[in-house]
Amino acid sequence: MDKKKARMKRALKLRSQIKKLGATRLSIHKTSQHIYAQIISGDGTVTLASASTNQVDLRSVVNGKNNIAAATVVGRVIAEKAIAVGVTEVAFDRSGFKYHGCVKALADAAREAGLKF
């Protein structure tokens, strides 16, 4: 099994558990250059808020890099946007990525900014 298939298998397992809960989820995706975060409704049809290092307003702050500092900024911004929409509690969907480095930094920053998961 290659690296991508293993990640997708972990993602499928995690998303099936979140779907059973019917909870609003904080879904992340990362590439070698950027990191993305979305708040998705419980039924999975509507994106309530999003933030990424690819956005114009964040590009100047993080220089478009996928590192821990950039993930911290994205985590703080997504939490602020979620709270503004009225979402305070989410399920963390790490999309099969292992919980360390950028993923952990994004989650910790979102928790510090007020999201509960």
pLDDT, one tens digit per residue, over 11-64 is: 999 899 998 888 999 999 999 899 999 999 988 899 999 999 999 888 888 876
Tell me how far apart the alpha carbons of residues 25 and 70 are, in angstroms, rounded to a whole number: 21
At a CB cut-off of 8 Å and minimum separation 6, what does 50 contact? 36, 37, 38, 39, 78, 81
Q: pTM of this prediction?
A: 0.89
pLDDT, one tens digit per residue, over 36-49 is: 999 999 888 999 99
